[in-house]
Amino acid sequence: MSVLVYTESDQGRFKKTAFEVASLGKAIADQLGTTVTAITINAGDTSELGNYGVNKILTINNSALEAFNAKIYASVIQQAAEKEGTKVVVVSSSVNSKYLAPLLSINLNAGYATNVLEAPVSSSPFIVKRSAFTNKAFEMFQINTDIKILGVSKNSFGIKENKTTAASEDFSPSIPDSGIHIVSVDKASNKVTIADADIVVSAGRGLKGPENWGMIEEMADVLGAATACSKPVSDLGWRPHSEHVGQTGKPVASNLYIGIGISGAIQHLAGINASKVKVVINTDPEAPFFKAADYGVVGDAFVVVPQLIEKLKAFKAHQ
Amino acid sequence: MKILVCISHVPDTTSKINFTDDNTKFDTNGVQYIINPNDEFGLTRSMWFKEKQGAHVTVVNVGGAETEPTLRKALAIGADAAIRVNTPATDGFSVAKQLAKVVQDGGYDLIIAGRESLDYNGGMVPGMIAGITNSNFVNNCISLEVEGNSATVTREIDGGKETVSTNLPLIIGGQKGIVEESDLRIPNMRGIMMARQKPLTIVEPIDVAPETASVKFEKPAPKGAVKLVSPDNLDELINLLHNEAKVI
């Protein structure tokens, strides 16, 4: 009966979203009067999960699961759900969780809600609040199946501490054939990713050319932030497509989003709207971004940004 | 190669989002509909396969007659045939079930759908089709090559990309990158004329019970005005971000 949470890890360390998933799982378990079971795959030390309300940990250590494979992972989580008699499964909104969850949904005959923002509004009928229309609306979404899968939107429910004693149990699911084989992985290991970043520093065409991105990268370094860019910038080839944020690019749900030389087209704003605090730096006071931002500086990026970097360095030095 | 491209009929990206009927229905008044951008990237890639390697491309949509102009546009871009499953798109699961039936009946080798639609952002239909038909599936696809029965696919992962090899039949969750924005095609007059002659088959739906339902919509609360900070007083910006917003 317990709520099953899939707590993702990368190279033996939990991702921040794992604790968010556990926190939401705990809130749902409280509503339903049940407990939280976490499933971990090659996660290393799992004791941290006890800080977020997890009662039981199904620990899988299997070298065959070293690399993510959606079909295999979906099968593994399905086996855990069936073993636990789970009625609610919670996953994150990571690229991998969004890849496996639809497969899991078919495996378990479970209705699936993505982009869930908070604990269910009602448990009978089961209704959750999710974002839709690329953050331009919220949808009250009812799931009618016996088993439900929730994909929690990043940085929405948040991480809630809840000390428990989590009992660990080894779990050895069967591993199905997958039909998909990894040829190569190309991943920058030392860079903060847009998906994981608390702060994103993003710039647009106002920067005039790719040669001017040094100061954007420097500001990101000072803040421990990820770098991003607007659509025209990636279309012009000034920055890689992987940095394009907006409606057809990557979604951003950081704590702080700093947009520099970005006018704020509706498609851009839609993609970054889930960020908690938005700062705009732009020469044009009429730029639409000022209507969407919390803080704004009307000024030339080439003057403001270098000064801001120096001041941020001084601020960080005193922290 | 037989390719099926799943086309979602969605409001233009600049549409005003409003609701009617006590906030239970999307207000279609004055809304322009387009091919879902994530689907259009996949459609454009399928044109490349058709021209370079030889392929027959069918586009499909689950929806009422009002979605036919969107299918005709896909035909004008170059698809060979269109199918409309004649039922409203109620939830991701029921749409996936209808599409899986089309996939199975048509014996397609490659099925391309967008990673998510711009309206409901469910992001579940491609994966569910794969689950129902037990086909190989790669989501967030940013590069796709097919050679005979095998495919090499690159998908976006957090912080990078991963390239995999797999076999047809294959379901793809596509997005920008599978082709570039500059590769997208605007239908020309000849294409539009030819589209009128191409078959658009209406298929009756199978019985499916939806798993989920939309109950009500809300619009986000209006945002407060921006706090402007003088470029000569950037210490104040740092102070606000640290003490007021508490984000640095």
pLDDT at A248 over 90: no
Measure the CA angle with vertex A140, ends A128 and A147; round to 5°.
40
Name the residue among B71, B34, B24, B112 with its Cα closest to residue B203: B71
Segment A85-123, tens digit of pLDDT: 999 999 999 999 999 999 999 999 999 999 999 999 999
Least Cα separation, residue B45 to chain A (angstroms):
16
Sorted by sequence, the CB contacts under 8 Å of residue A103 that are 6+ apart come out as A70, A71, A74, B127, B128, B130, B131, B137
CA angle A62, A64, A66 (to 5 degrees): 80
What CATH number matches the domain at B2-213, 3.30.930.10, 3.40.50.2300, 3.40.50.620, 3.40.50.1100?
Answer: 3.40.50.620
Q: What is the pLDDT of residue B13?
A: 86
A-chain residues near B210 (CB < 8 A): 144
Q: Which of A71, A114, A299 sits opposite B124 (nearest CB)?
A: A114
ipTM computed for the complex: 0.96
Q: Is pLDDT of A190 > 90?
A: no
Q: Which of residues 101-130 of B touch A (CB under 8 A)?
A: 118-128, 130
Q: Do A297 and B237 touch (CB under 8 A)?
A: yes
pLDDT at B181 > cutoff 90: no
Give the count of beta carbons closer than 10 Å to the beta carbon of residue A181: 11
Cβ atoms within 10 Å, residue A49: 25
B20 in A contact zone (CB under 8 Å): no
Check if B185 contacts A (Cβ < 8 Å): no
Confidence (pLDDT) at A247: 87
Q: Which residues in chain B are closer than 8 Å to A308, comparing Cβ atoms?
A: 234, 237-238
CA-based nearest distance A167→chain B, Å: 30
Q: Note whether B33 contacts A: Cβ–Cβ < 8 A.
A: no
Nearest CA in chain A to B19: A137
Q: Residues of chain B with pLDDT > 90: what percent? A: 95
Mutate to test the interface with B, among A97, A254, A294 (most CBs of B within 10 A): A294
> What's the mean pLDDT when you consider all of chain A?
96
pLDDT digits (tens, 9 = 90+) for A214-227: 999 999 999 999 99
Helix (H) or strand (E) holding B89: none
| Residue of chain A whose Cα is closest to the Cα of B216 | A140
Give residue B189's pLDDT band: very low, low, confident or very high (50, 70, 90). Answer: very high
Chain A interface, mutation test: which of B27, B90, B117, B120, most A Cβ atoms within 10 Å?
Answer: B120
Please provide residue B202's backbone torsions phi and psi, each rounded to the nearest 5 degrees: -100, 125
Mean pLDDT of all residues in A177-187: 94
Q: Which residues of B touch A111 (CB under 8 A)?
A: 91, 93, 211-212
Residue percentage of chain A with pLDDT more than 90: 92
How many of the other CB atoms lie within 10 Å of CB of B126?
30
Q: Report, as an integer, the average pLDDT of B175-181.
A: 93
Contacts of B167 in chain A (CB under 8 A): 179
Average pLDDT of the segment spanning B204-215 = 97
How distant is the Cα of A279 from the closest Cα of chain B, in angstroms? 9
B212–chain A Cβ distance below 8 A for any pair: yes
pLDDT of residue A174: 97
Judged by CB atoms closer than 8 Å, whether chains meet at A179 and B136 is answered as yes
**What is the structure's pLDDT at A111?**
98
pLDDT recorded at residue B197:
96
Closest CA to A75 of A145, A147, A170, A176: A176
Nearest-CA distance from A101 to chain B in Å? Answer: 8
Identity of the residue in A140, A193, A267 whose CB atom sits nearest the CB atom of B215? A140
Secondary structure letter of residue B98 according to DSSP: H
Whether residue B192 lies within 8 A of chain A, CB to CB, comes out as no
Question: Domains in chain A, please, with CATH?
Answer: 3-170 (3.40.50.620), 199-317 (3.40.50.1220)
pLDDT digits (tens, 9 = 90+) for B31-82: 999 999 999 999 999 999 999 999 999 999 999 999 999 999 999 999 999 9
Residues A140-174 as b or e (16 or more Cβ within 10 Å = b): bbbbebebbbbbbbbbbbebeebebebebeebebe
Contact yes or no for A101 and B223 at CB 8 A:
no
Per-residue pLDDT tens over the stretch A156-169? 999 999 999 999 99
pLDDT at B158: 87
Q: Which residues of B130-161 are buried (b: 16+ CB within 10 A; e: fewer)?
A: bbbbebbbbbbbbebebeeeebebbbbbbbeb
Q: Report pLDDT digits (tens) over A287-310.
A: 999 999 999 999 999 999 999 999
Cβ atoms of residues A21 and A47 within 8 Å: no
- The residue with greater pLDDT, A34 or B222, is A34
Q: Which residues on chain B are in Cβ contact (under 8 Å) with A291? A: 223, 226
Structure-block tokens of residue B92: 């991701």
**B31 shares contact with chain A (CB less than 8 Å):** no
Highest mean pLDDT among A98-102, A232-236, A244-248: A98-102
Å between A191 CA and nearest CA of chain B? 8
CB contacts < 8 A (A, B): 256
Return the structure tokens found at B118. 């711009």
What is the overall mean pLDDT for chain B? 96
User: Do residue B137 and residue A143 have CB atoms under 8 angstroms apart?
Assistant: no
Binned at pLDDT 50, 70 and 90, residue A146 comes out as very high
Distance between CA atoms of residues B19 and B27, nearest Å: 5
Asked if residue B114 has pLDDT above 80, the reply is yes
